[in-house]
Structure formats: structure tokens, C-alpha cells
């Protein structure tokens, strides 16, 4: 991007690794951001990278080299930078990294599997934007099989707390000691989406694991381990995002 091109302040802050654009908007609205010494609270403010002094919480903000990590989140780990209850966070598993990074989307406390952690504001924004439905694939183990008519109902959509919960696809797998295994693909994910669907049909969830985000697969990444995303993976992911954007115009 040429230095003479202006961009929105919240995008610049996100690109600098301060958090998602939505989080950066909160920083601006709270009066915690300055441009050339002046507090700015207007979300429409634009800046020219490299030509203005931008501070947040009294510290100079500068763009870092982008980093994108893939982590296999264990159960009983939360997707936040800090927890008042002192529970283990995703960032605790990455504490040796020098870069400021944040999780893209969330898995609930007991869920496990693939999480993207990055300081790439554009990538994070596109993955979390509700208009760009990047498919996410999960494995879930429940106590008893779903009925013949319950899977089609999930695909049509189930009303829940003012929302409609639906799946793009659901396939029954093995019957194991962990329970009956299903592979579920979501387009737009809601809070506790799969758990709420199973609760609707009075199914007990023994285990819930995310195994893919778009073309990115969990594969053989062990629980609690992480690695840097490969350039080829990021290329495929950005291509999937671009396609998703083109279909929403």
C-alpha cells in the first residue's frame, strides 16, 4: 500500500496488531487513541500510515510484520487475551511469541480444535465478517443418534433465542466409546451454535472439535500445539475469502 493512501483509523490499528477492527473501534470511542497528540473519537477518521504519530494508551503504534498461527485449542482454554477468573487462555499457550496477536473468532470453553491467531487485521476482519460465510467444519460426539427427520430440520434451520440455527451439511460417522460421531459444516456460526442445536433435540454433547476453517485443516496438529500458517495455506484462505466476497455483492 502506498504511504500516501489514507485508511480508516480502526483498520490501521487492527493492522498494527491491537485487535479486531471492532475492538479497535471501542478503543477509539473510549478516547484512548491520539493522532499527532490529539485525542480522536470519530470512527470515520482516516490516517496516512508513516506520516502521522499515532498513539494508543500513551504508546506509539506501528505496524508489525504480519504473523498468522494455527492452534489446536484444548478444552478448558478460553479464547481471550485475559481472564479475570485466572483460567488458561489461548494466548497463554503462545506466551513466547514477541508479536501482539489475537484470536479470530472463538471456540467455547469446553470445545477444542482449530483456531486462527493473527495480527493481520484484514484477514481477521474478513474471517469474522458476518457477510462472508467461510465454511467451518466440526466433529461432534453425542450420546444417541439423531433421528431420521432431525438432520433435515437442522439444514432448514431451528429457531433459537431470536436466531435461526442451521447447518450446511451433516454426516453421521462412527459409533464409538466417545459417542455417535457427526461431521457438521457451518456457514455462519452463532454463539454455541452446535451445542444449542443438540440441546434442542435433547442430545448430550460429549466432545466438540473444529477440524477446518475454509481450506485450512487441523490435520495432525496435536492438542495444545501451534504452528505458523504456510504461505500456500494463506493463499488458499485468501482465495476462499475473495470468492465469498464476490458472491455477496
- Candidates 38, 82, 83, 108; catalytic one: 108
What residues contact 187, with CB distance under 8 A and at least 6 apart?
A: 133, 135, 166, 168
CB 109 within 8 A of CB 96: no
- Tell me which residues of the chain have a pLDDT lower than 50: 1-2
pLDDT for 105 equals: 84
- Exposure of 211 in the CB half-sphere (CA atoms within 13 A): 12
Same domain, 140 and 207: yes
Which helix (H) or strand (E) segment holds residue 174: the answer is: strand 169-176
Do 199 and 150 belong to one domain? yes
Contact 74, 112 (CB under 8 A): yes
Task: Tell me if residue 220 is catalytic.
Answer: no
Residue 101 is predicted with a pLDDT of 85
pLDDT at 4: 59
Residue 90 belongs to domain with CATH number? 3.30.70.580
Which run of H or E residues covers position 195?
helix 193-200
Q: Are 101 and 69 in contact (CB under 8 A)?
A: yes
**Cα 117 to Cα 226: distance, rounded to the nearest angstrom:** 10
Same domain? 77 vs 188: no
pLDDT of residue 146: 96
* Residue corresponding to grid cell 508479536: 99
Domain co-membership, 148 together with 188:
yes
Same domain, 156 and 220: no
- The DSSP-derived string for 102-153 is EEES---TT-EEEEEEES-HHHHHHHH-TTS---EEEEEEESSPPPTTHHHH
What is residue 249's predicted lDDT score, i.e. its pLDDT? 62
Count of CB atoms situated within 10 Å of the CB of 215 = 16
Range of the domain at 106: 68-131+216-247
| Residues β-bridged to residue 104 | 116
- Amino acid 210: pLDDT: 98
Cell (9 digits) for 185? 459444516
Looking at the structure, do residues 178 and 230 belong to the same domain, yes or no? no
pLDDT tens figures, 3-32: 558 899 998 998 887 888 889 999 999 999
Cβ–Cβ under 8 Å, residues 168 and 187: yes
> Which long-range contacts link 187-192 to residues 24+ away (Cβ below 8 Å)?
187/133, 187/135, 188/130, 188/133, 189/105, 189/136, 190/163, 190/165, 191/108, 192/108
Q: Provide the CATH number for the domain around residue 40.
A: 3.10.290.10
Same domain, 146 and 207: yes
pLDDT of residue 121: 82
Burial of 126 (0-12, 13-18, 19+ CB in 10 A): buried
Amino acid at each position: 500500500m502506498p504511504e500516501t493512501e489514507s485508511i480508516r483509523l480502526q483498520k490501521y490499528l487492527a493492522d498494527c496488531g491491537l485487535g479486531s477492527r471492532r475492538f479497535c473501534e471501542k478503543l477509539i470511542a473510549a478516547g484512548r487513541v491520539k493522532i499527532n497528540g490529539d485525542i480522536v473519537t470519530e470512527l470515520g477518521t482516516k490516517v496516512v500510515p508513516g506520516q502521522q504519530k499515532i498513539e494508543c494508551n500513551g504508546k506509539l503504534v506501528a505496524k508489525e510484520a504480519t504473523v498468522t498461527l494455527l492452534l489446536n485449542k484444548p478444552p478448558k482454554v478460553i479464547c481471550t487475551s485475559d481472564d479475570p477468573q485466572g483460567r488458561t487462555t489461548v494466548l497463554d499457550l503462545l506466551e513466547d511469541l514477541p508479536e501482539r496477536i489475537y484470536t479470530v473468532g472463538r471456540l467455547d470453553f469446553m470445545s477444542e480444535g482449530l483456531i486462527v491467531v493473527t495480527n493481520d487485521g484484514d484477514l481477521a476482519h474478513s474471517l469474522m465478517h458476518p457477510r462472508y460465510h467461510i465454511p467451518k467444519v466440526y466433529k461432534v460426539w453425542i450420546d444417541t443418534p439423531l433421528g431420521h427427520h432431525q438432520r433435515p430440520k437442522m439444514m432448514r434451520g431451528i429457531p433459537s433465542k431470536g436466531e435461526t440455527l442451521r447447518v450446511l451439511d451433516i454426516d453421521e460417522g462412527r459409533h464409538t466409546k466417545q459417542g455417535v460421531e457427526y461431521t457438521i459444516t457451518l456457514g455462519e456460526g452463532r454463539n454455541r451454535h452446535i451445542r444449542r442445536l443438540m440441546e434442542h433435540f435433547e442430545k448430550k454433547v460429549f466432545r466438540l472439535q473444529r477440524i477446518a476453517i475454509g481450506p485450512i485443516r487441523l490435520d495432525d496438529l496435536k492438542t495444545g500445539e501451534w504452528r505458523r500458517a504456510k504461505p500456500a495455506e494463506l493463499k488458499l484462505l485468501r482465495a476462499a475469502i475473495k470468492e465469498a466476497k464476490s458472491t455477496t455483492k
